[in-house]
Amino acid sequence: MKSAMQPASPDNFSPATQALLDRAEGLCTRQGARLTQQRREILGLILDAPTPVGAYDLLEQIKSPERKPAPPTVYRALDFLLEHGLIHRIEKLSAFVACTHLLHNDHAHDCAHDHHHDDMCLHTAQFLICRSCKNVTEISTPAILDAVRATCRAEGFVIQSASVEIEGLCAACAQKRPAPAHAH
């Protein structure tokens, strides 16, 4: 009677989440890395969260009567997930979200290298952050990335990573609470 409402702690993830975790594991294996239980759990919690999660939120969530992990446990897992492109850090929020490449089942099975290889190696990502509902949407607009690349080429700047964080109101929230047309 309660199995459906269990907290998602020690691997009580939904089948959908498990499927994503399995995909992530595949990605890691191909990179010669291991998605351990610990990392899998952290990634699962991030996947299931409706909005970006802070490191200390995760820390609380993985605590149990038997296990009282310390911050490094979480940060190490986060570092791993970041390095392997499974999650992103939203700088403005000091919080973490799953990479959409992982989430989008569209071209499911061998999506492993479906996204542009460039984009991966550049650790590039773009986010729309809603200040009202706290939802964060990862977008992949070639136009923005192209503009960034063009600028860097012009400056002779060698890009290693680029992040675009746009704060404001998402379409849904903008309707409910439209931005005041401020006079000046």
Partner DNA sequence: TACACTATGTTATATTATCACATCTAGTGT
Partner DNA sequence: ACACTAGATGTGATAATATAACATAGTGTA
Say whether 130 counts as a known binding-site residue. yes
Nearest to 122 by CA among 137, 106, 144, 103: 144
Tell me whether residue 16 or residue 150 sits nearer to a copy of itself (CB atom).
150
Tell me whether residue 8 or residue 123 sits nearer to a copy of itself (CB atom).
123
Query: 33 touches which of a copy of itself, DNA, none (CB within 5 to 8 A by kind)?
Result: DNA
Q: Cα separation of 119 and 84, whole Å? A: 13
Q: Which residues in this chain contact a copy of itself in the complex, by CB under 8 A?
A: 91-92, 126, 128, 130-131, 137, 139, 141, 143-144, 146-148, 150-152, 155-171, 174, 178-179
Q: How far is the CB of 168 from DNA (least distance, A)?
A: 19
Q: Which residues in this chain contact DNA in the complex, by CB under 7 A?
A: 33-34, 36-39, 54-56, 67-73, 75-77, 79-80, 89, 94-95
Q: How far is the CB of 139 from a copy of itself (least distance, A)?
A: 6
State both tokens at 47.
């996947």
Q: How far is the CB of 146 from a copy of itself (least distance, A)?
A: 7
Tell me whether residue 67 or residue 116 sits nearer to DNA (CB atom).
67
Query: 64 touches which of a copy of itself, DNA, none (CB within 5 to 8 A by kind)?
Result: none
**Positive/negative CA dihedral, 111, 117, 119, 120:** positive
User: Do residues 81 and 123 touch, judged by C-beta distance below 8 A?
Assistant: no
Say whether 104 counts as a known binding-site residue. no
Q: How far is the CB of 33 from DNA (least distance, A)?
A: 6
Q: Cα separation of 175 and 169, whole Å? A: 9
User: Do residues 128 and 169 touch, judged by C-beta distance below 8 A?
Assistant: no
User: Do residues 34 and 28 touch, judged by C-beta distance below 8 A?
Assistant: yes
- For 160, other C-beta atoms within 10 Å of its C-beta total 9
